[in-house]
Amino acid sequence: MLGWALTFLVVALIAGALGFTGIAGTSAGIAKILFFIFLVLFVVSLIARAVRGG
């Protein structure tokens, strides 16, 4: 999931540099959403691991 977020971030940066602001904004938004989903899943995973004692 983090890989997809980084991919969309790179697409947003390239599109922004080339002047495609609509594509850049959309890609940046998708990258943000995927990054926050990754963070939530990561925190849930850490909590689950701590509760199980692993």
Digit-coded pLDDT (tens) for 19-50: 888 888 888 899 899 999 999 999 999 999 99
| Segment holding 27, helix H or strand E | helix 21-52
Mean pLDDT within 6-12: 87
d(C-alpha 34, C-alpha 22), whole Å: 18
pLDDT of residue 36: 94
- Label residue 20 left, alpha or beta by phi (over 0 means left) and psi (-120 to 50 means alpha): beta
Q: How many domains does the chain have?
A: 1
Identify the domain containing residue 38 by its residue range. 2-52
pLDDT at residue 54 tops 80:
no
pLDDT at residue 6 tops 90:
no
Query: Tokens 């540099």 appear where?
Result: 17
Rg (CA), the chain: 15
Mean pLDDT within 6-27: 88
pLDDT at residue 52 tops 80:
yes
